[in-house]
């Protein structure tokens, strides 16, 4: 139904004028418009509302994700979107629009929430117009997933000392100084890749060139390559710090297995296939828009905010053989995790208003401790 035929151009003009008077008088929203030409924004909003009211499913006049990216960087979140919806309803009411029509406008605006807040990608279902393209994207996602699983399996063998060349706890093969320099450099390369590609600003830039439904799969593939390169070129140092035997060795291997169990099962408590990029490609294959996974705290997430990191920490430290090489990897990985948490949580607080309270009530890594996130050393 085209609501423009019901509301009319004059009522729409009065609605947008009232709307921006309300927005600029709202202390929570007005800061997002500092330095902008309000008249120009009002005109664009009128154009966008005309599109929403038409309800014909056509292409929006602007890329919602792109134009709102600067506002997301300033902290735009669900609470702000809710306030804006309230102001739209008030403005429509003052323009004389009936309640039933206002309710339908609210439904249509609500459908844009995910795009405005950067939780999906604009025109997702138009990126792949051909079925061949969709199938290729799905095949690519499956390949990236398989590569990721293969590298994780190799990682389990590499850390545990099972049946792989160049094992982490192998004897030294060269200079200690060179080995330390190479190994720290490998960890830094992996850390930069893993963190930078996960930031919203990079995703917004990156998806100008790759289909959005392939973004997560590409991230998984890049992370897998970076991790495999780290393991393949790692320089063993040797020098035992401890080497457990008997029941102590068995206990260490059990804890190592527990670490992997926690890590893997944590991904399923959220959405394993979304995390590894398959869900995005599957929705695209079916011609459906991507929808963000709703905020929830199932399983381990009731007790800690980052159970995947808990799994990593357990498995890198629970080892029957701790060499200097293993210690360097464990310390570097721990430092990366503690530094990555504040960056990830900053993004999560922007996207999910519920996360702030979750952060206050749930510890980051250790169950039963304060909900306050750990600070990396440079922030201490």
Q: Is the pLDDT score of 156 beyond 90?
A: yes
pLDDT tens per residue across span 66-114: 777 778 777 888 888 888 889 989 988 998 888 888 888 888 888 888 7
- Domain range 4-118, CATH architecture: Orthogonal Bundle (1.10)
Mean pLDDT for the stretch of residues 141-149: 97
The full length of the chain comes to 380
Q: Which of 15-24, 148-157, 363-372 shows the lowest mean pLDDT across its residues?
A: 363-372
| Cα–Cα dist 191/336, whole Å | 7
Q: What is the pTM of this model?
A: 0.67
Q: State yes or no: pLDDT of 228 exceeds 90.
A: yes
Q: Which two tokens stand for residue 58?
A: 């056509």
Torsion region of 323: left, alpha or beta (phi above 0 gives left; psi -120 to 50 gives alpha): beta
pLDDT reading at 248 higher than 70: yes
| Gap between the Cα atoms of 149 and 143, Å rounded | 10
- Stretch 372-379: mean pLDDT: 42
Q: Which of 57-71, 273-287, 339-353 has the highest mean pLDDT?
A: 273-287
| Distance from C-alpha of 6 to C-alpha of 175, rounded to nearest angstrom | 79
Q: pLDDT-based confidence at 56, cuts 50/70/90?
A: low
CB-based contact 198:147 (threshold 8 Å) = no
Per DSSP, helices labelled H in the chain are 4-7, 9-24, 27-30, 38-54, 64-73, 78-94, 99-110, 113-116, 131-160, 176-196, 200-206, 215-233, 246-270, 272-275, 278-285, 307-317, 324-351, 354-361
Q: Out of 37-51, 222-236, 344-358, pick the least confident.
A: 37-51
How is residue 165 annotated by DSSP? Answer: S
Q: In which residue are the tokens 């094992």 written? A: 167
Alpha-carbon distances of 192 from 119, 185, 291, rounded to whole Å: 23, 11, 28
* 378 pLDDT tier (thresholds 50, 70, 90): very low
Q: How many CB atoms lie within 10 A of CB 5?
A: 9
Residues paired with 323 in a beta bridge:
240
Dist CA 6 CA 8 (whole Å): 6
Where are the chain's structural domains? 4-118, 129-379
> pLDDT (tens digit, 9 = 90+) per residue, 259-286?
999 999 999 998 999 999 999 999 888 8
């Amino acid at each position: 139904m085209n609501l423009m035929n019901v509301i009319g151009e004059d009522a729409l003009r009065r609605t947008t004028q009232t709307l921006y008077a309300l927005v600029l008088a709202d202390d929570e929203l007005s800061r997002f418009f500092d330095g902008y030409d309000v008249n120009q924004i009002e005109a664009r909003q009128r154009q966008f509302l005309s599109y929403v009211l038409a309800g014909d499913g056509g292409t929006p006049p602007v890329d919602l994700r792109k134009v709102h990216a600067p506002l997301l960087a300033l902290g735009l979140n669900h609470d702000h979107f809710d306030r804006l919806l309230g102001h739209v309803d008030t403005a429509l009411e003052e323009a004389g629009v009936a309640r039933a029509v206002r309710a339908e406008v609210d439904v249509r605006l609500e459908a844009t929430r995910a795009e405005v807040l950067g939780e999906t990608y604009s025109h997702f279902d138009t990126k792949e117009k051909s079925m061949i393209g969709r199938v290729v994207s799905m095949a690519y996602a499956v390949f990236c997933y398989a590569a990721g699983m293969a590298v994780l399996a190799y990682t389990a063998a590499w850390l545990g000392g099972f049946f792989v060349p160049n094992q982490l706890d192998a004897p030294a093969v060269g200079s200690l100084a060179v080995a330390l320099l190479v190994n720290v450099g490998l960890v830094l390369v992996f850390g930069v890749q893993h963190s930078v590609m996960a930031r919203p600003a990079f995703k917004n830039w990156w998806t100008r060139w790759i289909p959005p439904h392939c973004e997560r799969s590409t991230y998984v593939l890049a992370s897998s390559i970076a991790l495999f390169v780290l393991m393949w070129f790692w320089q063993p140092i040797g020098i035992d710090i401890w080497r457990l035997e008997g029941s102590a060795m068995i206990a260490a291997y059990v804890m190592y297995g527990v670490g992997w169990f926690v890590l893997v099962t944590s991904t399923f408590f959220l959405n394993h296939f979304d995390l590894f990029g398959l869900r995005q490609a599957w929705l695209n294959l079916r011609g459906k828009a991507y929808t963000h996974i709703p905020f929830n705290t199932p399983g381990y997430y009731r007790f800690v905010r980052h159970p995947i990191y808990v799994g990593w920490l357990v498995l890198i430290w629970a080892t029957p053989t701790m060499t200097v090489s293993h210690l360097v990897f464990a310390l570097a990985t721990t430092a990366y995790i503690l530094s990555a948490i504040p960056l990830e949580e900053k993004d999560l607080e922007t996207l999910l208003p519920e996360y702030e309270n979750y952060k206050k009530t749930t510890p980051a890594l250790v169950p039963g401790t304060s909900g306050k996130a750990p600070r990396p050393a440079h922030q201490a």
